[in-house]
Amino acid sequence: MSNQGFLYLAIAIGVIFLVIVIVYLRLRKKMQSSQYKQLQQLKRGTQNTAFSADILFQRLYLQYRKIPLVKRYLLKLRRRLEILNIDDEYLTRKQASQILTKGLIIVIPLTIVIIWLTYSNVLLLGILLIFEIFIMDSMIDGMVDKIDNNLLKQQIDFFGEIRHAYHEFNMVEEAIYQTAQDNELEISRQAEKIYEILISDDPEMELEKYYDIAPNSYLKEFAGISYLTKEYGDRKKDGASLYLKNLNNITQEMQLEILKRDKLDYVFQSLSVISIVPMLFLEMIKNWSVSQFAFTKSFYMGKQGMIVQILVIVITFICYTLTRKLKDNGSVNTKTQNTENPWQEKLYRKPPIKKFVDMFIPKEGTRDYRKQTQLLKDAASPLKLSWLYVNRICLFIVVFIASIIIMIALHNLQVNYIYTEPTTDYDLMGEMNETDEQEAMRKTEIDNVFLDMFRGNLKATQDDILNAMKRSEYYEGATDDTLTTDSERIYEKLQTINGEYLQWFEILISLAFALMGYGFPILLLIFQKKMRQMEMENEVMQFQTIILMLMRIERVNVEMILEWLERYANIFKEPISKCVNNYEAGAWEALEQLKEDISYQDMIRIVESLQAAVEKIPIVEAFDELDTERDYYQAKRKESNDRLIASKGLIGKGIGFAPMVCMFVGYLIAPLVLIGLTSMSSSFSTMSAM
């Protein structure tokens, strides 16, 4: 980097530091005012101090709401944190501000590094800055997932305390209330909410509302089992409380889930970074290659090198997105994004746009319509079909326009390279000295005079250039060999420049890229569906645990079991919901239809047991193997999780390392080898001719 570049960077860092100091001083001054005291009163137990980090984050929250792009991430954080922090606005704002501040602390220096490394390449710089948006999304998701994982770990300790309190009070609601009062962690808010549900006038309806906002399925199970025990009473099984036994089953499920998430985090902890890192080294590789192997300059400084750069970035974007989808462990709540009035819905409401989008959406009742809606369900996507097509059409338009702009930029880049490149023959190794470089630039400036003279003239010939050179002051007294050689060189440059314009086949290429963008949301849904299918065995085993908890509770029937399975289902939610809706019309027929709608054998076996419990035998006898072979199913669940993690890890490593392989092979090794061999072949041909 030049001294001037370092000076600009130092000035930029100094300005940023000065702005941070000014903002800090202003915030500190405001916190001494009455607003500070009012905010202090929002949190119980807050001490009167000269400076409070909590109040600082509250002030930052208000500031973040005023910044358009930052506000988007702030609202996204709120939607996820509100589920974890029930009715606690203060904590929600604090955590949202904390997470966003940490993200900005990482992203801002990263932006400075990107500008420092790619400031000379405006196109690459713009693409990398846009890509930071996706990095910010990943960081926010990771931080919220960490909070959710902490909540899950707190639940294990909390359930252990519930056991002791239940032995003391022998009442579910009292045990929950007492444990919640003795606990100041995040789990206590969930416990207080469950307690309020149990003592409400209509606990069943309040429980249904809680199911929609519970941060994880284990709290749903706990709330449901607590309600059933309070409603129908506890029973003894083998001398032990059935409620506590069910509590132990939920705890074992959580322990398996925590181990699974920890292993997934360990396997994927660096893959996202590895998939991003190659982009930051593109300019460094280019500068090193040009300095060490001067014959590669025409590739790296021309449009061929830029095309490879863009391809590496596109591959990185795709691999980064797939890696995130692959790592997704379903934490917090998969439907926490804004599904009430997103930008797709706002856009779709406009009559002209709605009319245009409807032309692409398959008609209801058609095979394509059923196929698309089923894909959305199988992928557990919160998108409506209209929103999906808004995404596809917008992506088509954006990719097409971006491709055209990139094509034009590549042509301009090639023309600029011809006008600025020193005109000389390079050695295979090293660079020119200062004298040779000055002479080469003098030749380039002379060539540019004739290029400007004939640029745009598609009928110009080498003879026209030769005649112009003879009349020029630059070639007074030049030999015929010199005139011929230089005219050939200038004519070749002119041919290249006159050919650098947007051509019809480039528009077709842009359309092809746009069609790929149009199909990308569908491919992403298919990938998400495949990843969910890998979780089938895990979900069926969770169903077995739910049935094991319910089957010994009095008044539990097959319909109630199906309702519970529907509540916790993810992959099999659609067929189970269909079965529940058809149950009253005929239990056996509804379960038979459920068997036809699914193909997974272990799930079919559960349905057959439910059919047996409808007409022939009690539920306890239909599922007696779940109790007798509990240890086997636990071991099988662990083995299933290990295989799932191994499969995801193998796929993730292949996807995560793909950008780095493409960078080294396509941007470093291949150009050196191919251009080197071409240069050597040309040199040997010249030597042979001599």
CB 295 within 8 A of CB 675: yes
Instruction: Find out whether 498 and 420 touch, Cβ atoms under 8 Å.
Output: no
Residue partners of 521: CB distance under 8 A and separation at least 6: 388, 391, 392, 395
Categorize the per-residue pLDDT at 337 as very low, low, confident or very high, splitting at 50, 70 and 90. Answer: very low
b or e along 631-648 (b: 16 or more beta carbons within 10 Å of the residue's beta carbon)? eebbeebeebbeebbeeb
**Angle CA(215)–CA(221)–CA(226) in degrees, nearest 5?**
115
Q: For residues 211 and 567, what is the distance between their CA atoms, to the nearest angstrom?
A: 8
What residue segments make up the domains of the chain, in order of their start? Answer: 127-336, 421-498
The mean-pLDDT minimum among 338-342, 379-383, 513-517 falls in: 338-342
The pLDDT value given to residue 129: 75
pLDDT band at 601 (very low <50, low <70, confident <90, very high): confident
User: Residue 449's closest CA among 416, 396, 485, 490?
Assistant: 490
Least confident of 7-11, 47-51, 597-601: 47-51
- Taking the whole predicted model, whether its pTM rises above 0.75 is answered as no
Query: Mean pLDDT score of the chain, rounded to an integer?
Result: 79
Please write the tens of the pLDDT for every residue from 176-214: 888 888 766 778 888 888 888 888 888 888 888 888 888
Each residue's pLDDT tens digit, 78-125: 877 877 777 678 888 888 888 888 888 887 887 888 778 777 767 667
Q: Could you tell me which residue, 127 or 576, shows the higher pLDDT?
A: 576
* pLDDT(427) > 60: no
Q: What's the rounded Cα separation, in Å, for the pair 445 and 420?
A: 8
Q: pLDDT > 90: what percent of the chain?
A: 3
What per-residue confidence (pLDDT) applies to 34?
46
Torsion of CA 638, 639, 644, 649, to 10 degrees: 100
The C-alpha atoms of residue 97 and residue 64 are separated, in whole angstroms, by: 8
In whole angstroms, give the CA distance from residue 135 to residue 186.
28
Q: What is the 3-state secondary structure (H, E, C) of 501-526?
A: CCCHHHHHHHHHHHHHHHHHHHHHHH
Measured from the Cβ of residue 463, the count of other Cβ atoms closer than 10 Å reads: 10
Instruction: Provide mean pLDDT across the span 557-582.
Output: 86
Phi, psi of 503 (to 5 degrees): -110, 165
The confidence score (pLDDT) of residue 11 equals: 67
Q: What whole-number distance in Å separates Cα of residue 78 and Cα of residue 481?
A: 75
Whether the CB-CB separation of 531 and 326 falls below 8 Å is answered with yes
For tokens 């190794």, what's the residue? 429
Q: Tell me: the pLDDT tens digits for 53-84?
A: 778 888 888 888 888 778 877 887 887 787 77
Instruction: Outline where 421-456 has alpha helix (H).
Output: 434-454
Output the CA angle 379-384-389, nearest 5 degrees. 95
Pairing status of strand 236-237 against strand 240-241: antiparallel
User: In this predicted model, what pLDDT tens digit does every residue of 365-383 receive, in sequence order?
Assistant: 888 888 888 888 777 777 8
Query: Token pair of 163, please?
Result: 């056991």
Question: Is the model more confident about 308 or about 118?
Answer: 308
**What are the b/e assignments for 262-275, b being 16+ CB within 10 Å?**
ebbeebbeebbebb
Q: Are 152 and 216 in contact (CB under 8 A)?
A: yes
Beta strands in 318-469 (DSSP E): none
Is residue 430 scored above 70 in pLDDT? Answer: no
* DSSP letter assigned to residue 384: -
Lookup: tokens for 221:
């199970």
For the chain, what percent of residues have pLDDT higher than 70? 85
* Cβ(190)–Cβ(86) below 8 Å: yes
Does residue 425 have a pLDDT over 60?
Answer: no
